[in-house]
Amino acid sequence: MVPRVAVVIVVAWALGGGAHGAPARARPPKGGADVIELPAATEPVPLIVILHGDREHASAAAARWRPVVKQRGWALLALECPHELGCKDSWWQWDGDPAWVLDRITKVKAEFAISKVILVGWSGGASYIGARAQAWSGVDAIVIHGGGMAPVSPDCIEGPPVYFLVGDKNPLHALARSLHDYFTGCKREVVWDVLEGADHAREASALTAKKAGVILDWVTAH
C-alpha cells in the first residue's frame, strides 16, 4: 500500500507510475476515460465504483456522486465502458466480461487502503450490473439507480445487499422489478426505494446530496 497525500483525479489507467505511488496520467481513450479520486487518508476508506448510463461517460456519472463521496472522505472510481473492447457507450449493450470491472477494482485495492467496495450503476450501467448479478459476490454492496434487469440464469449465489432507487413511471420499470424479484428470491437483503410518479429524468434528478447521503448511510450500516 502507498500513502495518500492528496486527492488524485485520473483520466486513464496507468496505476503505479505517478508521484507518491499515485496513478500516472495517460492519453484518455476516445470518447471518455475512467475517473479515480482518492482522498488524503491514513486509514482504509470505502470505494464507490460507478458504471455510467447509456450515451454518457464516466465523468458525468462521477459528478452525481462526487459531493457526498468527497464530503465523507471516501474514494471514487467511475469506469468508462471499454471502447478498446468494442463498447459504444452502453454497458448493457456491451455485456462484456465482468472480470474487466473487477480487475480495475483489484488494481486500486492493491495500491490503496480500501475498507469496502460499493458497486453503483446508473441506467444502462445498472442494467449491466443486474444482467451479470452473479459476478459481484466480492463487493460489499450494490446500488441500482434508474435501471436494472434480471440475469438470464436464475441461479442464486451468496452476495451483498442491494439498494434500488427507481421510478415507477420509467417505461422499463418492469425490468428493474424483475431484478428486485431475483434478489429477493435469492434471499438477499434489498431496499426497494421507489420514486412514485418518477420517469427516467426524475430518477436522475432524484440523486440529490440528501438522497445520496441516505444511500451511503445505508452502506455504512452494512
Specify the pTM.
0.88
- Over residues 207-219, the mean pLDDT reads 94
How do residues 33-75 score in pLDDT, each as one tens digit? 999 999 988 899 999 999 999 999 999 999 999 999 999 999 9
With a cut of 80, say whether residue 17 has pLDDT above it: no
Residue type, 103: D
Task: Judge whether residue 6 has pLDDT over 50.
Answer: no
Which residues fall within 8 angstroms of residue 13, CB to CB, at 6 or more apart? 23, 26, 34, 104, 107
Residue 158, amino acid: E
- Unique residue bearing C-alpha cell 468527497: 70
d(CA 132, CA 71): 31
HSE (side-chain half, CA atoms, 13 Å) at 41: 21
Assess whether pLDDT exceeds 50 at residue 3: no
Instruction: Please give the distance of CA 84 from its chain centroid, rounded to a whole number.
Output: 20
SS3 content of the chain, % helix, strand, coil (to 5): 35, 20, 40
Per-residue H/E/C for 56-71: CCHHHHHHHHHHHHHH
